[in-house]
A and B are shown apart, each in its own frame.
Chain A
Amino acid sequence: MSTLSALLRHSAQTYPDRPAVEDPDRDSVITYREPEARSSDIREKLIRHGVRPGDRVGIYAPKSAGTVIAIFGILGARASYVPVDYGAPPQRNAGIFEDCSVRLAIVAASLVDGFREAWTGQSADTLEDLGDDLLLVRGVDPGERHAPASDGEASPDEVAYILYTSGSTGKPKGVVHTHKSALSFIDWCSEVFEPVPDDRFSSHAPFHFDLSILDIYVPLKHGATLVLVGEEIGKQPLRLGPLIAERRITVWYSTPSILRLLAEYGRLDQLDCSTLRFVLFAGEVFPVKHLRAIKKLWPEPRYFNLYGPTETNVCTYYEIPSDIPDDRTEPFPIGYECSGDRAIVVEDDERAVAPGEQGELLISGGSVMRDYWNLPERTANAFFVDADGTAWYRTGDVVWQSAENGYIFVGRRDRMVKRRGYRVELGEIEAALYRHPRVTEAAVTSVPDEENGVLIKAFVTLSNGSRPSLVEMKRFCTEQLPSYMIPDRFLFHDSLPKTSTDKIDYQRLKELA
């Protein structure tokens, strides 16, 4: 099967009556024949309203069976879907849709007014009511010429989805994946996890987060069930634990932060989660003491550390041993290549380091993105092309290769941090702070923090007037940034230290704090 649409079609033919998607929030279960039929319907509406192969269609809604079906409708029209964080400021989401000129957008009815207000293009009229509280809304005319809509299957090289991640200059950038790059990862999952139709996968991650690629497509490929975990309930350990037990989840995939919350506050000792066979985590380092805690509460499943930036999806993996020595504090490796990828570790001049030495991890192979949407220079800078013409994606992560345990993660090269598994470019926070009418200078730094993983500090200079309160600054930030990007501390200074070339001296700032 060479496209994502084919995965659903095959399961609909083979397992028409098995449960495909469960939505506990809405108390609904749909079997495989439903998404196949309903997505065809959506596909037809999209085409009727002008969607052509290669177009982008936005999705601005909470997760639901309806949004899963909408995704397949979009893919069926040979377009790509662009999911956004419905909790982020509407301007940010409208900006994303404008950046990749979505022809149409599928917007939750409750969010459409906020979206329309933020949308600066031609009026975002409602074209159709798609049911499930979803509206089809006009986007922009991408002004591209295409072949007319065809009934044919997408080719594997066609774009399947674009996931936007934090951009260091303040504007999010779109990571473009094709059916082929998605399947390179998904097919590896089939090999290593061997899913069966009785499996029940959690969908904890929102659809704009690339953990969702495993969540959506792996169970659907195997006739298994996808159990949606709503974005709200996903942050509440006291509701999450019972859901995992009641819905008899067999495969759990999330960031380490959520597992840690579950271990600490989920009252898991009172619940029976014995159906779990795999616990997968990705997105950030998992401190060993917290990993040990969840393993104690859930001792039976196999645990896997999955590593990979959005640009490559999962490119290395490591299975956690069943016994973790009590005195181990060192985080586990990111491990071995997977998903049809190869890895090398290089120095600044792109020469391979000596074995065991630290350097930047570069990845090449099937699961690597096509490019950043409409950013040819950024894309070119993100890859190193070797003498053989092979393109290697620069992860920006510093690693070394151990003799027996694969790659070990050391840290980042640059100004990007992970917060609850999400990518946060410190530069994007600075850009947001500069939009405050009284901020004259802003510099954001991060320090590792025992409790919270990372502490984000914003140093700010203001024009005349009284200093705003922390509460005011945080409130301002909620209007500009997703919640996980809001600084933990604000420090107000009369002026910020500069280097000899008159740039903000981040080293000094780190020392000051």
Chain B
Amino acid sequence: METAQTDVKGTIKDYILREFLPGESPDSLDDTTPLITGGVLDSIATVKLIAFLEERYGVQIEPHEMNADYLNFLPDIASLVESRQAQS
């Protein structure tokens, strides 16, 4: 559902802003912001994000998904979580 997707993405965006971009305006982070390749999420931040997603949404991120191919953009992260939720 459209609303659910926005909620997931919005929550993830809030988490990233709060944890890794303190003081940043929410406008700076949008669907096209490269999070990993753009230096917003380094390797440790990525691990923390994954732990957050797994705990908050009760999903399992597969080891092969823990990189820029799956986690570089907000919509991709939200889709990953959504599709994992749909499976369980």
- With an 8 Å Cβ cutoff, the count of chain A residues facing the other chain is 23
In the complex, B28 has a CB within 8 A of chain A: yes
B43 adjacent to A469 (CB under 8 Å): no
B21 adjacent to A475 (CB under 8 Å): no
Contact pattern, A 456-470, Cβ under 8 Å of B = 1, otherwise 0: 000000000000011
Q: Is the interface of B mostly helix, strand, loop or mixed?
A: loop
A474 adjacent to B22 (CB under 8 Å): no
B43 adjacent to A483 (CB under 8 Å): yes
B47 adjacent to A236 (CB under 8 Å): yes
- Cβ–Cβ < 8 Å partners of B50 in chain A: 238
Task: Tell me which of A257, A261, A477, A489 contacts B22 (CB under 8 A).
Answer: A489
Contact pattern, A 465-498, Cβ under 8 Å of B = 1, otherwise 0: 0000111101101100001101001000000000
B21 adjacent to A470 (CB under 8 Å): yes
- Cβ–Cβ < 8 Å partners of B23 in chain A: 470
A478 adjacent to B38 (CB under 8 Å): yes
Using A265-B47, A452-B44 as known contacts, say yes or no to A475 and B39 having CB atoms under 8 A apart.
yes
Most buried by B among A235, A257, A471, A483: A471
- Cβ–Cβ < 8 Å partners of A489 in chain B: 22
B28 adjacent to A261 (CB under 8 Å): no
A469 adjacent to B38 (CB under 8 Å): no
Q: What is the count of residue pairs linking A and B with beta-carbon distances less than 8 angstroms?
A: 55
In the complex, A237 has a CB within 8 A of chain B: yes
In the complex, A239 has a CB within 8 A of chain B: yes
Query: How far, in whole Å, are A232 and B40 apart by their CA atoms in the complex?
Result: 17
For A235, the closest partner residue in chain B by CB is: B43
Query: How far, in whole Å, are A420 and B44 apart by their CA atoms in the complex?
Result: 10
A483 adjacent to B39 (CB under 8 Å): yes
A238 adjacent to B39 (CB under 8 Å): no
A469 adjacent to B24 (CB under 8 Å): yes
A471 adjacent to B21 (CB under 8 Å): yes
For A468, the closest partner residue in chain B by CB is: B28
For B63, the closest partner residue in chain A by CB is: A239
B33 adjacent to A471 (CB under 8 Å): yes
Using A232-B67, A236-B66, A478-B37 as known contacts, say yes or no to A470 and B42 having CB atoms under 8 A apart.
no
Query: How far, in whole Å, are A470 and B40 apart by their CA atoms in the complex?
Result: 9
Using A236-B63, A469-B24, A486-B42 as known contacts, say yes or no to A475 and B47 having CB atoms under 8 A apart.
no
Query: How far, in whole Å, are A401 and B63 apart by their CA atoms in the complex?
Result: 45
For A261, the closest partner residue in chain B by CB is: B47
Contact pattern, A 306-344, Cβ under 8 Å of B = 1, otherwise 0: 000000000000000000000000000000000000000
Query: How far, in whole Å, are A68 and B50 apart by their CA atoms in the complex?
Result: 33
Within 8 A of B (CB), among A232-257: 232, 235-239, 257
A474 adjacent to B39 (CB under 8 Å): yes
**Closest-CB distance, B21 to chain A (whole angstroms):** 5
Query: How far, in whole Å, are A232 and B39 apart by their CA atoms in the complex?
Result: 16
B38 adjacent to A474 (CB under 8 Å): yes
Query: How far, in whole Å, are A478 and B23 apart by their CA atoms in the complex?
Result: 20
- Cβ–Cβ < 8 Å partners of B47 in chain A: 235-237, 261, 265
In the complex, B29 has a CB within 8 A of chain A: yes
Contact pattern, A 397-435, Cβ under 8 Å of B = 1, otherwise 0: 000000000000000000000001000000000000000
- Cβ–Cβ < 8 Å partners of B44 in chain A: 257, 261, 420, 452
Query: How far, in whole Å, are A45 and B22 apart by their CA atoms in the complex?
Result: 53
Task: Tell me which of B25, B28, B29, B42 contacts A483 (CB under 8 A).
Answer: B42
**Closest-CB distance, A401 to chain B (whole angstroms):** 34
A472 adjacent to B42 (CB under 8 Å): no
**Closest-CB distance, B60 to chain A (whole angstroms):** 10
Task: Tell me which of A235, A470, A477 contacts B24 (CB under 8 A).
Answer: A470
Query: How far, in whole Å, are A469 and B44 apart by their CA atoms in the complex?
Result: 22
- Cβ–Cβ < 8 Å partners of A265 in chain B: 47, 51
**Closest-CB distance, B22 to chain A (whole angstroms):** 7
Query: How far, in whole Å, are A484 and B44 apart by their CA atoms in the complex?
Result: 10
Using A478-B39, A483-B42, A489-B22 as known contacts, say yes or no to A472 and B63 having CB atoms under 8 A apart.
no
Within 8 A of A (CB), among B54-82: 63, 66-67
Give me 12 A-to-B residue pairs in the complex whose CB atoms sit less than 8 angstroms apart, sorted by A's number.
A232-B67, A236-B47, A236-B67, A239-B63, A265-B47, A265-B51, A469-B27, A471-B24, A474-B39, A475-B38, A478-B37, A489-B22
- Apart from A236-B67, A238-B63, A265-B51, 20 more pairs, CB < 8 Å: A235-B43, A235-B46, A238-B50, A238-B66, A239-B66, A261-B44, A469-B25, A469-B28, A470-B28, A471-B21, A471-B24, A471-B33, A472-B28, A474-B39, A475-B34, A475-B39, A478-B37, A478-B38, A478-B39, A486-B42
Which residues of A are at the interface with B, using a C-beta cutoff of 8 A?
232, 235-239, 257, 261, 265, 420, 452, 469-472, 474-475, 477-478, 483-484, 486, 489
**7 smallest A-B Cβ distances: which pairs?**
A469-B28, A474-B39, A235-B43, A478-B39, A475-B38, A470-B24, A239-B63
